[in-house]
Amino acid sequence: MDLNTARMKTVSIILAGGRGSRLKQLTDNRSKPAVPIAGKYKIVDFPLSNCINSGMRQIAVLTQYRSHTLNQHIQRGWNFLRSDFNEFIELWPAQQQTGGDWYQGTADAVYQNLSMIESLDSEYILILAGDHVYKQDYSVMLQEHIDNNADVTVACIEVPIKEADQFGIMHIDEDDNIIAFEEKPSNPPTMPGKDDVSLASMGIYIFSTKFLSENLRSDASDNDSSHDFGKDLIPLFVGRSKIKAHHYVRSAIKNEEYPDKPYWRDVGTLTAYWEANMDLTRLVPELDLYDEDWPIRTTQYQRPAAKFNYNYEERIGTALNSVVSAGCIVSGSTVDKSILFNNVRVNSFSYVNKSVVLPRCDIGRHCRLTNVVVDSDCRIPEGTIIGEDAVADAERFYRNKDGITLVTQEMIEALSE
């Protein structure tokens, strides 16, 4: 089967139902894939864009936890495919199709939608997480899967051995056959010929459809299984099936400035989320969002351009080494090494430094914010100082061990009670 035909015979399943509890209050009212990132996007835009750019145009997004904002985002901004060409991006909410339970794990989420998957007459199934930030050409991985005549292909990324205990680690032979799998091992195996790195699963899988269908049904009847791909199915396949490792470096869309550093981030913690956003304020970020050959798409709204007001000695509207999105007004204030998402207003005499300010926030006069993540729709009162007194920050807001402070409107309102 040629690659173009194979792409048309592939169904992409994006698992987007998770809460992402390590992001704390950022996911109180939205699922992790719906968290805003990089000034104008949501996390789910990355796997969706990768699918479109890779030529994978049969896409199902599986949702569950607090999915309203995610549903709205996809319905409004991702409805451009041609159904008459058998292309689609569909939302598949948890519907308890196989019983009375919600999704119990990643494998169970796919199993509960198996009848819809099988009705599409696909040859291959691409399983993706909806909560990672990266740029990858999945068609390269698909071609490897076909050439190897594999049952399963697992995308893997090299990680330093000192960090390997945070991942599911693959042990491979010289032909990239996966010969062992260990979940967060204390003594991880290294790669052949590379003693300082291990090979970690990225949670991206390509299955031959018939093979996956049979094994999902078998897993569903196993009461001892947690019904998760990483914990249950992948370890089960090792030694029993043809399971191959695909090296992410082969299919990553590389930044020319960092040819040896394929970009992939799990932004599942507040610090990781803050750092991923801060990277974009650097002169040359590791994540290239200006690559017209591999665009990251998102829902577009009509907004005015960003605006900077006042040019007096004591009151200059300025943004330095920052990303300022459409609809923002920087009015007689200074924004430094920060990201302002859409429709943010920073009022006079304020200073915003190394901070991530989500959409529709209003920062009052004479405020100072440092190392802060401000959730959407916050109204920061005049004279508020955050990021300079760890004890005061922890008493009023959420402050993690790395010194990043998260502020929500609920926290602000609690101050006046």
- According to DSSP, residue 305 is labeled P
The reply, when asked if residue 103 is annotated as ligand binding, is yes
- According to DSSP, residue 34 is labeled G
Rounded Cα distance, 122 and 139, in Å: 15
The reply, when asked if residue 201 is annotated as ligand binding, is yes
Whether the CB-CB separation of 331 and 340 falls below 8 Å is answered with no
- 344 Cβ neighbours under 8 A, 6+ residues apart: 325, 327, 328, 329, 357, 358, 359, 360, 361, 362, 363
Q: State the residue for tokens 């709204």.
A: 301
Rounded Cα distance, 168 and 198, in Å: 10
Whether the CB-CB separation of 71 and 91 falls below 8 Å is answered with yes
Which ranges of 113-205 does DSSP label H, i.e. alpha helix? 114-119, 138-147
User: Please, is 300 exposed, middle or buried when counting C-beta atoms within 10 Å of its C-beta (0-12, 13-18, 19+)?
Assistant: exposed
The reply, when asked if residue 168 is annotated as ligand binding, is yes
Query: Tell me, what amino acid is at 116?
Result: M
CA angle centred on 371, ends 369 and 373, rounded to 5°:
85
Query: Tell me, what amino acid is at 329?
Result: I
- Binding residues, by number, are 103, 168, 183-184, 201
- Binding residues for alpha-D-glucose 1-phosphate, by number, are 103, 168, 183-184, 201
